Amino acid sequence: MAALTREDGARGQKKGRRGCEHYDRGCLLKAQQTCEECSTLFGEYYCSICHLFDKDKKQYHCENCGICRIGPKEDFFHCLKCNLCLAMNLQGKHKCIENVSRQNCPICLEDIHTSRVVAHVLPCGHLLHRTCYEEMLKEGYRCPLCMHSALDMSRYWRQLDDEVAQTPMPSEYQNMTVDILCNDCNGRSTVQFHILGMKCNICESYNTAQAGGCRISLDQQ
């Protein structure tokens, strides 16, 4: 083995050295930010745990995550239950799901925990890549996993109230009721059928799904 190492070193000298002149192929390397002999800087950022070399992006090593993340560190905190570093403005203001960061993004199916793309926490607690979340809003407003509203829809629900009030149903449908399941509060209720949407009696959300057949009141029959 020693002979092979000497031969490799000799071949390396014939071909010319690569990188720092103090490096000999086959020698024992110690990972560090600069060369001990010539002080050449190998990376503006260096993590002695991950052995990561990179340009300065305000990185920091999170012991709980087990990896380096793009900072600055003071803008993030580690949620022990979610097992992920999140923006400080979410501290105490997000729904925790244990180890939710170990799941893949439901939009792109790529890993969230080790991604360089910032994670976006939905009101339901599920995570998406921020870029995937922004693309999702172009097509819909519901979490792809649980169908809960992905943002505050209260203003839109009030607009829908006005549209429903201004759009009466034909006489044969005016006394028709239907059972619904609310995706936001998970409550069940019986409401008047309307083609524009059916409002939850519990939380007043229109993010509902029909849970049974339509019924017409006895006085209508």
Determine the 3-state secondary structure of 156 from DSSP: helix
CB 25 within 8 A of CB 4: no
Would you say how long the chain is, in residues? Answer: 221
| Positions of the chain with pLDDT lower than 50, given as ranges | 1-17, 218, 220-221
pLDDT at 50: 84
- Torsion angle (degrees, nearest 10) of CA 175, 176, 179, 185: -60
**pTM for the predicted model, two decimal places:** 0.69
Class of domain 169-216: mainly beta
pLDDT at 21: 61
CB 209 within 8 A of CB 198: no
CB neighbours of 158 closer than 8 A, spacing ≥ 6?
Answer: none
Domain boundaries, the chain: 38-93, 169-216
CA 137 to CA 142: how far, in whole Å? 8
